[in-house]
Structure formats: structure tokens, C-alpha cells
Amino acid sequence: MKLGVFNFNTHYGLRPDDLARALEERGYDSLWIGEHTHIPTSRRTPYPPGGDLPRQYSHMMDPFVSLMAAGAVTERLKLATGVCLVIERDPITLAKEVATLDQLSGGRVIFGVGAGWNAEEMENHGTAFDTRWRVLRERVAALKALWTEDEASFHGEFVDFDPVWSFPKPAQTPHPPVVFGGGTALGRQRVVDYCDGWAPLDMAVGDVPEGLADLRRRCEEAGRDPAEIEVSMWCWDPPDQAKLERYRELGVERTVMFLPVDDRAGGMPFLDRYAELIPKLV
């Protein structure tokens, strides 16, 4: 099993290029960076875990610019969005951003996608909360067309364009893996319907063995090989060695951990501690 790290990617945290170097030097597999373009000050939508919204959610830097900085100083590290809020982005522009990052990094992009939870944030981008899942699926389909077709066109409810030339194409064939971030049963169905991987929070999944078994059942019912779906399990709390070994035994291909927030000094000791476990998890 591989280990990855998620970073909230604020301007006061570890720089993405410094963090990427440290990850690759220590044998980590991937760097995951999330996205909130902004946070409306109304705070109408409650923070899903409860309590006050931590300040880092409104301070996140752009994921693609940051991942390019990470890619420029590394050779093997996977560059992952965790997750890109596709419902807040123009799909034609987004297709070029992802493909450019994949080309310039030598095919190292993992394209994690989600619909988000902040209703007023997505409304500022023109997406109504109750349409977010339909928008996500349609925009992912449009992205795939733009990545794989020399003259792509798309006509849907939310995306509509006649034939276009959109280049570059991604370095990976047919495109970077599309990974869905969401832990529910409906989320697992979305993985089966239009994604290549599953990247849920373990606390959102609840019963992880049953969640994995349910994903396999859904794949088989849809005629998909469960082995095609790479699972990247996110640990909300720092996992101990026993949990990591249990996930490996369950067939999880990658575990992603949260780097401590607002603690530049504590980031490297955190990486050093878990790097000692990497050889034991192979």
C-alpha cells in the first residue's frame, strides 16, 4: 500500500514545492491538494463536521498552480486534486488546465473530483445546490470528450458546445484517472458510473470493510471489474500502524493522511514519522 499526504495549501503553511520535495525524498506516493475558491461570509451552510469553520478553508491557494510548483521540483510524485470542485469551474478551461499539468509533469496527475458542500459558494459560480450532482457528472463527461477527441462537442443540460479543438491532450491515456471523493453509498455508485477511483474519508464511510464490499458489488452489477477501481482511503485522524496495515489487508491501494495545519515546524516531523512505515506497507 502507498502513502499520500493531503495539504490544505494555505499561504502560511508549507509551500507546495517544499512539501513535494520532502514527500518524494521520503518515499511518499502522492500529494493531494483541495479547493475552495472562496468562502462566502454569510456562513449560511454549516460546516459538515460541526462547529466553527476552520480558517484554512477560506485561505486555500489555487490547486493547479500549486501542483505545478510541486511537479516542477519532483520526478515521481503523483499530483492529485483532493478534490477539484468541478461544479465551480468552466469545463473547457478546466480540461486545458488538467491536460497542461499532466503534460508538463510527465503524466503524474490524479484528478480527484467532487461537488462540494457549501451551497452559497457554488451558487456564486452559477450552480444551484440541488443540481450539483447532475452538473458534476455532465462536466466530467464533457472533460473526457475534450481530452480524448480531436474535435470534441457536447450537448447536455448544463454543458453545450459545438465541435472544438482543445489541446494539449493529457499525457496519460486516455486521460488522468478520475477519482471521486465521497463516502456514501450514492458516492460509490457515482464511482462505478463514471469514475476510475474512489477517495473517501474513512469517517464518512463508517464501516470500511462493508463500504469496500459494497463498491465491489456495485461494480459487478454494472459489469465493471472491481480491480479497475483504485481506492485511496483518507484518514481524518492520524492513523496508527495497525490501521494502515488493516487497510492494506482490505485491499486499499493508498492511504492519504492530513498534514498538520498551521504548523510549518511540525510538518517535517510528521512526514518523518510516517515515512518509517512506508517500507512496511509495500
Say what the pLDDT of residue 106 is.
98
| CATH number, position 171 | 3.20.20.30
Radius of gyration (C-alpha) of the chain in whole angstroms? 18
Say what the pLDDT of residue 68 is.
98
Written as nine digits, the cell of 22 is 520532502
Strands 160-164 and 152-155: antiparallel
Say what the pLDDT of residue 224 is.
97
Res 110 pLDDT > 80: yes
Three-state SS at 4? strand
Task: Please return the burial class of 176, using the count of CB atoms within 10 Å of its CB with bins 0-12, 13-18 and 19+.
Answer: buried
Res 263 pLDDT > 90: no
Domain count, the chain: 1
Indicate if the alpha-carbon torsion angle 261, 264, 270, 276 is positive or negative.
positive
Say what the pLDDT of residue 140 is.
98
Res 149 pLDDT > 90: yes
Say what the pLDDT of residue 54 is.
95
**Percent of all residues in the chain with a pLDDT value above 70, rounded to a whole number:** 99
Res 69 pLDDT > 90: yes
Q: What is the dihedral of CA 197, 112, 133, 135, to 10 degrees?
A: -120
Say what the pLDDT of residue 152 is.
98
For 27-43, what is the mean pLDDT? 97
Res 262 pLDDT > 80: no
List pLDDT tens digits, range 233-258.
999 899 999 999 999 999 999 999 99
Distance between CA atoms of residues 23 and 246, nearest Å: 23
For 137-163, what is the mean pLDDT? 98
Distance between CA atoms of residues 116 and 38, nearest Å: 12
**Domain of 199, in residue numbers:** 2-281
Distance between CA atoms of residues 188 and 198, nearest Å: 7
**Percent of all residues in the chain with a pLDDT value above 90, rounded to a whole number:** 96
